[in-house]
Amino acid sequence: MRVFLNGQELEFVEGGYEYVFLKPYKRCVQDKVVKDGRELYIQYYDNGVRIRTLITPKEITTLINRDVAVDHKNRKIYILEEGNQVLRHDDGTVEVI
């Protein structure tokens, strides 16, 4: 199974990654479209974040309308806002400042 996030390939992790929103949200609207063995999930958050995930038998592709930082060790995806800076560590973790 191949996994892509904003055009970059990630290692497949059983159980997936957790999203960490740096700008909190209160409401989320979700929709799911199934067609020809494919699933499209669309999530709209009131903080302006839009997440679209397409799942096919061979790959998972997610597009987020923000820059992201992936913490591979802790299995987290930080959804960044303008002005956020990221320090990447050799052990696969990230620190958002």
For residue 57, the enclosing domain spans: 2-96
pLDDT at 27: 98
pLDDT at 65: 98
Domains in the chain, number = 1
pLDDT at 54: 98
First to last CA, the chain: 33
pLDDT at 44: 99
pLDDT at 91: 96
Beta-bridged to residue 33, according to DSSP, are 40
Distance CA 49, CA 25 (A): 9
Q: Calculate the alpha carbon distances from 89 to 19, 38, 75 in Å.
A: 19, 36, 14
65 alpha carbon, distance to own chain's centre: 10
Full-model pTM: 0.93
For the chain (length 97 residues), average pLDDT per consecutive 10?
A: 97 94 98 97 99 98 98 97 96 95
